[in-house]
A and B are shown apart, each in its own frame.
Chain A
Amino acid sequence: DSGVTQTPKHLITATGQRVTLRCSPRSGDLSVYWYQQSLDQGLQFLIQYYNGEERAKGNILERFSAQQFPDLHSELNLSSLELGDSALYFCASSVDGTQPQHFGDGTRLSIL
């Protein structure tokens, strides 16, 4: 158990809809990262938050947004969903630069 909790584990929805993925980092971890794993693009970094502030942005679409709350949990919002958004979405957390990132079990998003 990595200590990083992601909910829900599975999500099935239709094109055009909006979903929210939730991540609770390990206790004490200030950084939260979101990654997308798809068959054609592999594992790609989306966005990072550190102690409530956006720290880095990767290949995140404008239809996607995220935030980190005062209790350090994070949410990734995906809107106007397309078939190509079907993927496994991972959240990872780390305490600081001295420790590696630990991953949650992911949320599998299926767009029908």
Chain B
Amino acid sequence: AQTVTQSQPEMSVQEAETVTLSCTYDTSESDYYLFWYKQPPSRQMILVIRQEAYKQQNATENRFSVNFQKAAKSFSLKISDSQLGDAAMYFCAYSYSGNTPLVFGKGTRLSVIA
């Protein structure tokens, strides 16, 4: 079974600084999808970024980028120029294909210090 591990239960970052959240996963598949979801205090689940395993280029979305290391099964999220609104729980997730259920990590709670 696929598993997703987030080894950092909590992280903090100064406003305007950069922070990296770690995620590792285990799968025997060669094609799959990886995601980062953000859950602010409002409890909504907001898609931050998505990476297809067949793409070698790392995905970026404005201040958010990933470092996808397929051989190491690592998928970290980098948040640049951190803002107070980035404070949230961040979940790493895996799916075998785009139309299959997500497997989530336990999450990393990110605090942003003004």
Contact = CB atoms under 8 A, between A and B. Distances in A.
A105 B44 contact: yes
A42 B107 contact: yes
A99 B98 contact: yes
Name B's interface SS: loop
B67 to A, nearest CB: 19
A88 interface: yes
Nearest to B97: A97
Interface string A55-98: 11010000000000000000000000000000010101010111
B104 A48 contact: no
B113 interface: no
B50 to A, nearest CB: 5
Contact of A45 (B35, B42, B102, B105): B102
Contacts of A97: 97-99
A100 B47 contact: yes
B98 A100 contact: yes
Q: What interface size band does chain A fall in?
A: 20 to 34
A102 interface: yes
A2 to B, nearest CB: 8
Contacts of B42: 105
A96 B99 contact: yes
Given A31-B99, A42-B104, A99-B98, 16 more contacts: A42-B105, A42-B106, A42-B107, A43-B102, A43-B107, A45-B103, A56-B101, A90-B45, A96-B98, A96-B99, A101-B102, A103-B44, A105-B43, A105-B44, A106-B45, A108-B43
Interface of B: 33, 35, 37, 42-47, 50, 91, 97-107
Interface of A: 2, 31, 33, 35, 42-45, 48, 50, 55-56, 58, 88, 90, 92, 94, 96-103, 105-106, 108
List the 7 closest pairs (A to B, CB-CB), nearest first: A97-B98, A103-B45, A97-B99, A45-B101, A43-B104, A42-B106, A97-B97
